[in-house]
Chains A and B, each alone.
Chain A
Amino acid sequence: AQKVTQAQTEISVVEKEDVTLDCVYETRDTTYYLFWYKQPPSGELVFLIRRNSFDEQNEISGRYSWNFQKSTSSFNFTITASQVVDSAVYFCALRRYGGATNKLIFGTGTLLAVQP
């Protein structure tokens, strides 16, 4: 069975602090995809990143960085120097690689509140 766990329900930080959102996943597959999506207060789901399981290189995009560790089944997301506009719910998601299914399995999300 596939499962995504985001143990942090809510995080509150003050602007300019760094914050890390945790994501732990379970899968029996040897290859898979991992994703992060952002859901701002307006409600839409915004794609942030996709990572293939066979590529463990960490990625940085501006203030965002992702740490993929296959050994601990984690795909954590760090925002450096947080801003009020980063306030949103962040979802981690898992999808099988190949096969008959393309469905995304989402975690329960982490609500990030960045205070000015």
Chain B
Amino acid sequence: EPEVTQTPSHQVTQMGQEVILRCVPISNHLYFYWYRQILGQKVEFLVSFYNNEISEKSEIFDDQFSVERPDGSNFTLKIRSTKLEDSAMYFCASGRQGQETQYFGPGTRLLVL
């Protein structure tokens, strides 16, 4: 059964450094999402992406964040200058259509020191 995959599974970085989180959505899916979960808290929406552009973003998704689909398979989240409060689990999700179920990847646990 097709799955969303994410790399790396864990990343430790220094405050102020740039990080890129990578995702490979399910192959025939057209809608892509990033969510984050601060330890012990609920899952929060960051951004949705369709047809090579952002379709919606939350207040969390400020100028420090960007997303890209550099090729036909990868979907990336970049944080330009990480802050301590960016430490969280970041989930990528994809859906075949906008109204379809979103399937989540296993997450990347980001720790900013």
Contact = CB atoms under 8 A, between A and B. Distances in A.
User: Which residue among A50, A91, A103, A108 has the maximum number of chain B CB atoms within 10 Å of its CB?
Assistant: A103
Interface of A: 33, 35, 37, 42-47, 50, 91, 93, 97-98, 100-109
* Interface of A, helix, strand, loop or mixed by DSSP: loop
A50 B99 CA distance: 11
Contacts of A50: 101
Contacts, number: 58
B75 interface: no
B13 interface: no
Interface stretch (B16-24, B39-47, B66-74, B78-86): B39-47
B35 A104 contact: yes
B11 interface: no
A33 B44 CA distance: 17
B104 to A, nearest CB: 4
Nearest to A103: B45
Given A97-B99, A100-B55, A106 B42 contact: yes
